[in-house]
């Protein structure tokens, strides 16, 4: 064992500890790890910076803007309202009506805005139908995750993996393999999504609570005209994290009054003004009509429910936004076909190209605010993705990836006959990635697992695609905790769930995805 291997392992341990304890924002933590690797020569400056010019990372940024354009169109809300039943409503019928559609939408749009749009809407509809909203909101989050694993653009994690694969192929780090096409993951992802949705429809009525304390009890007392009531969750950009409302002048910063705080499914009582604020809180705000135009499009807050929302786009722009997204997906899909690639065009017709064109058209037609576009992008996510490339390269350069890969291969050889070894290796890789994704960010988990897949496939002389696909599913299967995925945090705020609610419903779903991934991937990719 070399110094570089021990040093790399130490950096990984420190990085995981910092991510789990939320010492800094994830992007800055991964950047710190990259700097530590630079200090001893495990990474060269060029290798450390490669992620910042990654096509996958920039595509993620563009898709944030595309999602915002679709969100402002309001067309998705109209589609869901048409799907939700208005009479003879039962839990099973309602879940059957909207969960598949939610999964389909999230396969082509970023999961977070999908939940931000539909969470409050479904909650209000359930209350109107006299059904417990708590039976619908966790399934909403899980449905977006299940839909996201079906396509390349369904989640940023898939794009991160695709960028890592592209880089590995370009630098001859793997033997064989190919980048992920738009529907490459659908071969297994569709089966996983359908099974997961069936599970949610069947068990939600039994495993989810009937009622949680309303978060809006205090805020709804005000009946003054001109008052806008907002439920918002602070993001990691919120400067008041760790401070109490007596220490942090919320009104001076944002022109809004905090009327209550909900935490872990419970509306805080007593001297809640002296409770330090966390990113798991839902703030109940009263403000005027200027709050939403000023902060609604920022990344300081996730807006969960708004009375007095911004106006929608005009009718022509609504449908133009839908047409643009459809053409983006269709163009990127057709661009992968062999006969199109044989045309030898000067332009590569991939997702990056079509996302860039769509973003520019949306900006010039003002489908999102062109003067505030930087606020619409989660820069910390982008920095995390960029630094993840460096961390992954460092694991390969130091020999840590080979060390862990050898252990996984040896485990497979000892535990089973050779013909079953692939299942053992996929299971080990899935479990390692999934543990990472439940306690740290999805993109960081994928970056840590990627070099293991490279090492295993190279040592066995195998096509690495089955291992890359396994990482995609494992990194997205964050069902067991509210902190494992941003959408889980959002529905926890809207629905008032407790930590245990996610464990009861999510852990069996984690096991379902694990078993289906391990046994289906060899059927389609070997």
Residue 338: the pLDDT is 76
Q: What is the pLDDT of residues 342-367, one digit of tens each?
A: 787 888 888 889 999 999 999 998 88
Is residue 507 very low, low, confident or very high in pLDDT (cuts 50, 70, 90)?
Answer: very high
The predicted model scores a pTM of: 0.77
Question: Distance (Å, rounded) from C-alpha 108 to C-alpha 272?
Answer: 40
Kindly report which listed range (57-71, 73-87, 209-223, 252-266) carries the lowest average pLDDT score: 209-223
Residue 312: the pLDDT is 58
Q: Is the dihedral of CA 396, 402, 407, 410 positive or negative?
A: positive
Residue 274: the pLDDT is 87
Locate the domains of the chain by residue range: 219-307
Domain spanning 219-307: CATH superfamily: Regulator of K+ conductance, C-terminal domain (3.30.70.1450)
Is residue 37 very low, low, confident or very high in pLDDT (cuts 50, 70, 90)?
Answer: very high
Q: Which residue has the tokens 């939610």?
A: 102
Q: What is the mean pLDDT of residues 27-48?
A: 92
Question: Distance (Å, rounded) from C-alpha 264 to C-alpha 495?
Answer: 10
In this structure, the dihedral spanned by the alpha carbons of residues 408, 412, 414 and 415, taken in order and rounded to 10 degrees, is 120
In the structure encoding, which two tokens stand for residue 298, read together? 């920022």
Residue 328: which of 314, 349, 298, 299 has the closest Cα?
A: 349
User: Across all residues in the chain, what is the average pLDDT?
Assistant: 84
- Return all residues near 128 (Cβ < 8 A) that are at least 6 apart: none
Is residue 226 very low, low, confident or very high in pLDDT (cuts 50, 70, 90)?
Answer: low
């Amino acid at each position: 064992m070399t110094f570089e291997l021990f040093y790399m392992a130490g950096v990984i341990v420190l990085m995981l500890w910092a991510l789990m304890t939320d010492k800094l924002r994830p992007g800055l933590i991964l950047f710190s790890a990259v700097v530590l690797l630079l200090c001893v020569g495990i990474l060269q400056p060029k290798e450390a910076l490669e992620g910042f010019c990654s096509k996958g990372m920039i595509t993620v940024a563009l898709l944030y803007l595309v999602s915002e354009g679709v969100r402002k169109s309001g067309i998705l809300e109209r589609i869901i309202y048409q799907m939700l039943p208005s009479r003879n409503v039962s839990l099973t019928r309602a879940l059957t009506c909207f969960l598949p559609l939610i999964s389909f939408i999230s396969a082509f749009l970023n999961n977070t805005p999908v939940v931000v749009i539909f969470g409050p809407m479904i909650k209000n509809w359930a209350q109107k139908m006299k059904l417990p909203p708590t039976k619908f909101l966790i399934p909403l989050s899980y449905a977006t995750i299940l839909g996201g694993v079906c396509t390349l653009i369904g989640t940023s994690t898939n794009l991160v993996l695709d960028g890592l694969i592209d880089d590995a192929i370009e630098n001859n780090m793997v033997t064989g393999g190919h980048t992920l096409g738009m529907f490459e993951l659908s071969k297994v992802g569709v089966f996983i999504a359908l099974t997961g949705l069936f599970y949610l429809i069947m068990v939600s009525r039994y495993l989810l609570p009937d009622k949680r304390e309303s978060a809006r009890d205090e805020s709804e007392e005000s009946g003054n005209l001109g008052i806008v009531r907002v439920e918002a969750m602070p993001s990691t950009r919120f400067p008041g994290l760790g401070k109490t409302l007596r220490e942090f002048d919320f009104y001076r910063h944002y022109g809004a009054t905090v009327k209550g705080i909900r935490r872990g499914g419970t509306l805080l009582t007593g001297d809640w003004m002296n409770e330090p604020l966390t990113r798991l809180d839902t703030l109940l705000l009263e403000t005027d009509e200027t709050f939403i135009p000023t902060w609604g499009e920022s990344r300081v807050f996730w807006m969960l429910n708004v009375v007095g929302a911004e106006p929608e786009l005009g009718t022509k722009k609504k449908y133009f936004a839908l047409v643009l997204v459809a053409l983006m997906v269709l163009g990127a899909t057709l661009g992968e076909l062999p006969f199109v690639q044989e045309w030898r065009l000067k332009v590569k017709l991939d997702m990056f190209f079509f996302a860039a064109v769509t973003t520019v058209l949306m900006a010039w037609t003002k489908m999102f605010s062109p003067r505030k576009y930087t606020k619409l992008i989660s820069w910390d996510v982008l920095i995390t993705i960029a630094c993840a490339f460096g961390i992954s390269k460092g694991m390969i350069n130091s020999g840590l990836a080979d060390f862990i890969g050898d252990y996984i291969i040896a485990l497979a050889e000892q535990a089973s006959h050779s013909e079953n070894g692939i299942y053992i290796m996929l299971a080990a890789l899935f479990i390692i990635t999934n543990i990472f994704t439940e306690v740290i960010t999805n993109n960081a988990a994928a970056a840590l697992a990627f070099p293991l897949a490279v090492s295993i496939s190279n040592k066995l002389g195998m096509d690495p695609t089955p291992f890359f696909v396994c990482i995609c599913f494992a990194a997205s299967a964050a069902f067991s905790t509210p902190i494992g995925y941003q959408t889980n945090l959002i529905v926890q705020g809207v629905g008032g769930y407790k930590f245990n609610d996610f464990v009861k419903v999510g852990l069996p779903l984690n096991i379902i995805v694990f078993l289906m991934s391990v046994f289906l991937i060899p059927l389609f990719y070997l």
